[in-house]
Amino acid sequence: MGKVHISESPIDAWGEITSLLQSSRRIGALVTFMGVVREISEGKEVERLFYDHYPEMASNALNRIRKEAISRFGLIDATIIHRVGEAGIGDLVLLVIVASEHRSEAFKAVEWIVDEVKKEAAIWKKEYFKDGEYRWVEPERSDLDERIE
């Protein structure tokens, strides 16, 4: 069964994939996106990230995004999990899984969901660099809505 969750603990991607896959026999496509903390950002070595959030606003936004994606792309179900707090290099910080009858809408939905989460969820990323500097990262903007319509 799909869900929305904000987690301070590591994300169990395989457990979530298995759970969603077993929720319906109509599923013909399961597409995932796994956002992972990378070692380099804009040419600088990253030590770790910190994700802060406004709990109620973030949860409401993720639920709205999930519901809209299911409706907009005709999905069977969807899961969105975002990690908050400290995250190290290689840690999974965003998991999006969509289940649909066919692959085309699943791929489109995953890209749309990721873009919406980055634009709309009240979750902010702070990068700590190995040289001691840090910075808050501005939310990403994209032209995805124009490409889908």
Lowest mean pLDDT among 12-21, 41-50, 134-143: 134-143
Per-residue pLDDT at 146 exceeds 90? no
Structure tokens at 72: 């907009």
* Confidence band, pLDDT 50/70/90 cuts, at residue 145: very low
- Residues 81 and 16: beta-carbon distance below 8 Å: yes
> Using CA atoms, how far apart are residues 117 and 6, in angstroms rounded to an integer?
12
> Using CA atoms, how far apart are residues 30 and 107, in angstroms rounded to an integer?
9
Per-residue confidence (pLDDT) for residue 1, from 0 to 100: 85
Mean pLDDT of 118-138: 95
- Domains in the chain, number: 1
Q: Measuring CA to CA, how many Å separate 115 from each of 47, 94, 109, 131?
A: 25, 12, 10, 30
Per-residue confidence (pLDDT) for residue 144, from 0 to 100: 43
Residue 36: which residues within 8 A CB-CB, separation 6 or more? 90, 91, 92, 93
Q: Measuring CA to CA, how many Å separate 64 from each of 58, 72, 78, 82, 91?
A: 10, 12, 12, 14, 26
The range of the structural domain enclosing residue 18 comes to 4-148
Lowest mean pLDDT among 61-65, 92-96, 134-138: 134-138
Per-residue pLDDT at 129 exceeds 90? yes
> Using CA atoms, how far apart are residues 92 and 11, in angstroms rounded to an integer?
7
For position 76, which CATH number holds? 3.90.1170.40
pLDDT tens for each residue of 30-86? 999 999 999 999 999 999 999 999 999 999 999 999 999 999 999 999 999 999 999
Structure tokens at 40: 């380099």
> Position 4: which residue type?
V
Per-residue confidence (pLDDT) for residue 149, from 0 to 100: 45
Three-state secondary structure call for residue 113 = helix
Per-residue pLDDT at 140 exceeds 90? no
Per-residue confidence (pLDDT) for residue 138, from 0 to 100: 83
